[in-house]
Each structure stands twice: as C-alpha cells, then as structure tokens.
Structure 1
C-alpha cells in the first residue's frame, strides 16, 4: 500500500488540490475563509456560553476553539472519505487507480484545511495572553495520530 501511495503521489497531490479548490471555488474570501470560519464560530459560541451560562473558565475560548478544530477535522475527514470512492467512480472506471487513494486524498485535504485553521488558534492564544510553550510543538503528534485514525475510518 505504501509503495502505491509513493507511486501515485502526484495523483494524490492533484486530488487534494482539486478538493481544496472545489471547496473554496465560489467563496469570495477564498482560503481566508478557512481561518475566519473557526474564529467566527468560536466567537459566537464563546459569547453564548460565557454570557448565557456564566462559566468562569480561564481561556475558555481557546479550549472551545481547539475542540472545534479537532472535531471539525474528524467529522469532515471521515464523512468525505467515506463517499470519496462513489464520487470518483467515473475516474475509477476509466483508468486503473487504487481505490484507497481517494479516501486518503480526502482526509489529506481535510488536514490541509486544519492547517489553514491553526493560525486562528494561534491568534486566539496571543489575544488571550496564553503562554506559548514548547508543548505547543508536541501537539503535532496527536494530530498525526488523528490523521491516520481518520484514514483508517475512511478506508473502513
């Protein structure tokens, strides 16, 4: 399987680029929307929870945004990966391509969207004066594990 991914890496890159372009094709803000969307969602949710329910949790907005980013990635990656083979059925019928490349490309495009959203989280960290430490770099490991978990769910 790994050898096929390396062999067809250009196809996987093109499929990821196609998915990203298709997602932001009709958007005026384009790729900027992937940063603004989690920020605006977090802003509205944080206002509702902090004013309506009166939670006094330090860095509540940051916790909320982190959870929303991870959940959105998982939800988007798994749901799109599960239907990716059916969506690309015409391509599969025309040319031999390993079918598992399509779920991998969909999960990878969701991962790229997550990477676009991470500057929003960094902006919230700076705005709330949250301490930026070396453990921020360690968050890469769980994100990589989540990426492979989403590939596994999508392939299932």
Structure 2
C-alpha cells in the first residue's frame, strides 16, 4: 500500500459527515459530468435513510480521513436476502490514484463477507471509467448497461455484481 494511503484512517460514517458528503458529491459530479442539483438531493436522501433505518449488524458506511480532512466514502447496505449493495463510493480528486479506492473497496467487501452476504451489487455510470476499471479488477461483472437521462444528463447506467 502506498505511504499516503497508509496514513488514512477509515472511520465509521456519522450524521456529522452528511453535509460534507452531499456537498462533495454535488460539486464533484456537477464539475466532472454536468449533473444538476437533483444529484445532491438524491445523496442527501440516501444518507438520511441510512441514518434513520440502517442495521449496524449488516450495513455500514466509512469515511476516509487524513490530516483532519475527509477524502472519501463508501457504504455497504442490504439490498435483499444475501445481497449487499455498494453505495456512495467517492474519492476527492487529490486522493485518487493512491490506492485509497482499493482500500475502501476492500473494507466494504470484507464487511459484506463478515455480515454473511453472498453477493454484492452496485450501480454506476459508464463515464466513471476509473471506478469501473477498479470494479472489474476486483471481480465484478457488468450485468447491464442502459441509456438514460438522469441528473440533467444523457448517461449510460451500469449494474455490476459479484460473488463475495
């Protein structure tokens, strides 16, 4: 693991992280892909639902921290019997390419295995090339690709899945 990634602490998600996560998702996706304000609204609703109803035995969120700064997040939530869903995987631009994405993914998949899930699913967009490459490298298979209009943009939604 790279030296910078080794200095990062993965802390459990707390409601105090919500504002940062909503702002980062909204700003980064607006800048990179032109997403409209509906994306931040979606992220906030996902986080509020997680705070209100998650089961800590089988659902967890992590926020990566270094030097007093948040660098990213990943969540594992229940999507059905034996099925975990990876959500809200984000790295700020300065934290990309340092091995932190793999570390977050490893934490999420390890937790899912320990919680008794047999499979993991995720939803993303084709334009997220680095994330898709990371998923493929880690044994996820592309299940479907669907052209859609979401967040004010023409996108290709992708559904990935793997056994864990």
Normalised by the length of structure 1, the TM-score is: 0.29
The structure with the largest strand share of the pair is 2
Structure with max Cα Rg: 1
Normalised by the length of structure 2, the TM-score is: 0.28
